[in-house]
Amino acid sequence: MDNNQTTNLGKVILGVAGVIGVIAVLDELFSNKNDTVNYKLKNKGRLVYHGICYEDRLDSRMNEHECSGKKFDEIIYDNPKPREHASRLERKRIRRDMPKYNHYHKFQLNYMAMTDIKKVHVATASIATKRNAGWIIG
């Protein structure tokens, strides 16, 4: 092989390696790895918080909760699962239990409840308008 062929072969190898690297990064980002745990915090037997975090950050996350002033004496966590599944499960549990320290989600739930009430009100008004229109015509 001459130098020109060697240079071209080197470029091809680097190109293939680059593509493999990009695929590996994308796989890491979009894979359904079981790396996230759901956890709940209790204080004196009472549920006070639902959360999720990466399994390897659980100790750090508990420290963050302590530093933020959350009072708890018990931590319960489950088996790791894909992040998306853990997030859906967390929202479901927060809606069901409404723990003391899940303030953001309480606001979000109140807003969603108000939005649903508005939708019902609008739908009812719409039905009433149609009935009134029918009465006027009929």
Question: Who wins on pLDDT, 59 or 122?
Answer: 59
Work out the angle between the directed axes of helices 103-137 and 83-97 (0-180°, nearest 10): 70
Write down the pTM of the prediction.
Answer: 0.56
pLDDT per residue as tens digits for the range 53-100: 999 999 999 999 999 999 999 999 999 999 999 999 999 999 999 999
36-43 and 74-77 beta bridge pairing: antiparallel
pLDDT category, 23, cuts 50, 70, 90?
Answer: confident
- Per residue in 11-22, pLDDT tens? 778 777 777 877
